[in-house]
Homo-oligomer: A and B are copies of this chain.
């Protein structure tokens, strides 16, 4: 079934069928109804190979925006963007990347606007969970610019698709790892992430809930926040360990593992404290080799970036993401051997 055949069946031109298919309007209601009926009856679906060839003429620009500055986790996400971009050169696709540091809503809004000015056709963003961002995504949608959230999602928004990990399950996985590492006996200190990132909150909840269930003998001694910042993480861990020298195990919810490790080493606890963390970024890998970090839970950052851009391309070709509105990475447990 092709557009041509549909056109013949309806006694109209291919142009008219195209107008109906892409809701360009300017078609007599009766004609439109006939065409829609025929499309439905024949089970017609647009052939993406044909569509792909026409995409090239528009040279579509995908806007990408992540808080990657000072956070090496995102190096991999960005590498995934670039890999997908490379695969799409033949379709004339470009990825316009903007980065920021930290989680300031005003800054994120400003960068989204810059991308809009630059003429992006799809937005790929790691959104702050704030209603002003949600509102901007809605406005973009009204303009015909769909949004894909990557790495972390935003509640109640009209984003077309989320590409990232399942945070609650990631937290539970970390709890399971904690059981293997501690044998169910520990005085635990927790270093949390950023409270305005939905994922970080869900991950911590998942961890604590499941840990209570499977390791009732692990005592959570204290919690501090690293704010996704190395220095902050270092200082807060230092203070926590001074307050509670009985802590023998640490759980780092988000980034900042290196800072936490520095504090542990400085206090001379390297041989006695065990750490479970997230993501195999280079500095964490270093600490794994040193034996301080026993295991990490990973969320396939490269694949997140790659799939987000591919999903944007799917939207271009088909109007929707073929994978549905969520593309969820697996939580992987990594130890030294399978890094």
Which A residues contact B (CB, under 8 angstroms)? 47-50, 52-53, 55-56, 87, 90-91, 169-170, 172-173, 175-177, 180-181, 183, 210, 294-295, 297, 322, 330-338
A338 and B176 contact, CB distance less than 8 A:
yes
Chain B residue with the shortest CB-CB distance to A206: B337
Main secondary structure of the interface of A (DSSP, over half): helix
Closest 10 A/B residue pairs (Cβ): A176-B337, A333-B333, A173-B338, A173-B337, A331-B338, A172-B337, A49-B52, A176-B335, A47-B90, A332-B332
B56 and A337 contact, CB distance less than 8 A:
no
Q: What's the minimum C-beta distance from A129 to chain B, rounded to whole angstroms?
A: 24
Most-contacted residue by chain B among A91, A210, A333, A334 (CB, 10 A): A333
- Chain B residues with Cβ below 8 Å from A180 are 180-181, 294-295, 335
Q: What's the minimum C-beta distance from A157 to chain B, rounded to whole angstroms?
A: 27
Knowing A49-B56, A90-B49, A332-B332 touch, does A337 contact B210 (C-beta < 8 A)?
A: yes
Chain B residue with the shortest CB-CB distance to A175: B337
Copies of this chain assembled into the complex: 2
Knowing A180-B181, A330-B332, A332-B330 touch, does A49 contact B91 (C-beta < 8 A)?
A: yes
- Chain B residues with Cβ below 8 Å from A331 are 337-338
Q: What's the minimum C-beta distance from A57 to chain B, rounded to whole angstroms?
A: 11
- Chain B residues with Cβ below 8 Å from A56 are 47, 49
Q: What's the minimum C-beta distance from A249 to chain B, rounded to whole angstroms?
A: 14
CA distance A56 to B294 in the complex (A): 51
Supply 6 further A-B pairs (C-beta < 8 A) apart from A177-B337, A180-B180, A333-B333: A47-B90, A176-B336, A176-B338, A180-B181, A180-B335, A330-B332
CA distance A176 to B330 in the complex (A): 20
Chain B residue with the shortest CB-CB distance to A183: B183
- Chain B residues with Cβ below 8 Å from A50 are 53
Chain B residue with the shortest CB-CB distance to A336: B176
Chain B residue with the shortest CB-CB distance to A50: B53
Chain B residue with the shortest CB-CB distance to A210: B337
CA distance A210 to B91 in the complex (A): 46
CA distance A334 to B180 in the complex (A): 12
CA distance A334 to B297 in the complex (A): 11
CA distance A333 to B331 in the complex (A): 9
Q: List 10 A-B contacts (CB under 8 A).
A: A47-B90, A49-B53, A169-B338, A173-B337, A173-B338, A176-B337, A180-B295, A180-B335, A210-B337, A331-B338
**Set B173, B183, B294, B337: member contacting A335, Cβ < 8 A:** B173
